[in-house]
Amino acid sequence: MHTIKGLLPRVLFHTLAYDYMTIPFTGSYYADDVQFLLKPMAIPDTPVAIKEALIQSGAKHYSEMLSHESLPSEQYVSLFHQAMTLNQQCMAGHLLVLAERIVATRPHGVTLVSLARAGTPVGVLLKHILKRYFNTEASHYSISIVRDVGIDQNALRHILKNHAPETLVFVDGWTGKGVIARQLEDSLEAFSGSDGVAIPAELYVLADLSGSAAVAAVADDYLIPSCILNATVSGLVSRSIYDPATAAPGDFHGCVYYRQFEQQDLSRYFIDTLLACVDFIWPDYSGGAMGVSAAERLRLQQVSHVLLRWVSKCYAIKQTHYIKPGIGEATRVLLRREARVLLLQDLDCEATLHLRWLAESRSIPIDIFTDLPYRAVALIKEIH
């Protein structure tokens, strides 16, 4: 195994080379789908094993580094298409529920602010659905929020130049442990103190596993198809990057734009396919759905706490940062981190086929627990 001492000269002090593209930009989406309030840049590749060692040693924050993406294999992309067949109609229904709740809770207008990048496809879909079915025009921005760092305040200031704070709707795909929901609350409280603007600290998601979102369509740990892929379903944009040592005071948080993947991009395909599915189910949509209730949120919070305690004890885990509950979070671990083990509720569940494929291709052990409250949980390998 590499040692931290051997890594520092090559990685920590590498000078970033920036590509000053015009921002905001739209990635590979259509111009009116979204404005990414992110700064495209070039950043050196940090291999996953090295990145993990630097994160866990405290030498660098995860947001300061990026492991460059490679294109998924044909076999893995086929699992994405299977997931679309399996769950696109379910997701379409949940999008309608979420759109209806947005209209009900934002009577003075809607400004969608998706959290890059899992929230971006959801925000694009909601923008179209709000216009088509709820007679509501909504601007859509995608901005960065980073655990321990916070939300991009410069991006918020940019949005607030043209939109009232009470219209903002923060959108993500799902919750895992509720870390981002809590980070959003802390960030907006700090922003209120620094800028004197109060913004509702409310997170809107499709699936709220941890009971930490203000509004959610469901609490089920189901397979949201977009979670399977990375940039090629998210406008060819990387996860956000923030290095305080190199960022100028007025900069947005950064990202990498994978222009070289344009021929394999599925971002617009995903949007068009889901919107066609919404068109199909709309005539039978009765409306009036309330999503996840307050009582259900409390139950979900308790389930999350119990799960984290049990996993921590069972696997002798020191920090809950190493525990990633739910299909979406588990997928991120297997794609981007050093995974220790994958926990599954059912080895033969169709919703976790891609997780099995990823685990088996990387020789990651799989443990089965039939009483697991979620379909999947991934544990990050602790480096000692």
Read off the pLDDT of residues 8-25 as tens digits, 9 standing for 90 and up.
333 332 333 333 343 469
Q: Tokens 């002798």 belong to which residue?
A: 316
Strands 150-151 and 168-175: unpaired
Cα 109 versus chain centre, distance: 25
What SS3 state is found at 313? Answer: helix
Please tell me the distance from the alpha carbon of residue 138 to that of residue 109, in angstroms, as a whole number: 8
Q: What is the pLDDT of residue 289?
A: 80
By the 8 A CB rule, do 112 and 123 touch? yes
Least confident of 2-6, 60-64, 193-197, 272-276: 2-6
In which residue ranges of the chain is CATH 3.30.1330.30 found? Answer: 295-380
Q: What is the pLDDT of residues 250-306, one digit of tens each?
A: 999 999 999 999 999 999 999 999 999 999 999 999 888 889 999 999 999 999 999
The predicted model gives 360-383 an average pLDDT of 96
The predicted model gives 59-65 an average pLDDT of 90
Q: What is the pLDDT of residues 201-235, one digit of tens each?
A: 999 999 999 999 999 999 999 999 999 999 999 99
With 0-12 / 13-18 / 19 or more C-beta atoms within 10 angstroms meaning exposed / middle / buried, residue 336 is middle
pLDDT of residue 4 exceeding 60:
no
pLDDT of residue 356 exceeding 80:
yes
Q: What is the pLDDT of residue 288?
A: 82
Please tell me the distance from the alpha carbon of residue 42 to that of residue 256, in angstroms, as a whole number: 6
pLDDT of residue 323 exceeding 70:
yes
pLDDT of residue 82 exceeding 50:
yes
By the 8 A CB rule, do 347 and 372 touch? no
Q: What is the pLDDT of residue 218?
A: 97
Ordered DSSP codes for 122-151: HHHHHHHHHHHHH---EEEEEE-EETTTEE
Q: What is the pLDDT of residue 124?
A: 98
Q: What is the pLDDT of residue 24?
A: 65
What SS3 state is found at 237? Answer: strand
Q: What is the pLDDT of residues 141-193, one digit of tens each?
A: 999 999 999 999 999 999 999 999 999 999 999 999 999 999 999 999 999 99
Return the CATH fold of 74-284.
Rossmann fold (3.40.50)
The residue type found at 317 is: I
Distances (CA, A) of 92 to 22, 30, 102, 220: 33, 20, 15, 15
Please tell me the distance from the alpha carbon of residue 52 to that of residue 30, in angstroms, as a whole number: 35
Mean residue pLDDT of the chain comes to 92
Nearest to 267 by CA among 229, 302, 241, 295: 229
CATH number of 295-380: 3.30.1330.30
In which residue ranges of the chain is CATH 3.40.50 found? Answer: 74-284
Residue 95: which H helix or E strand, with range?
A: helix 74-105
Nearest to 264 by CA among 29, 72, 41: 72
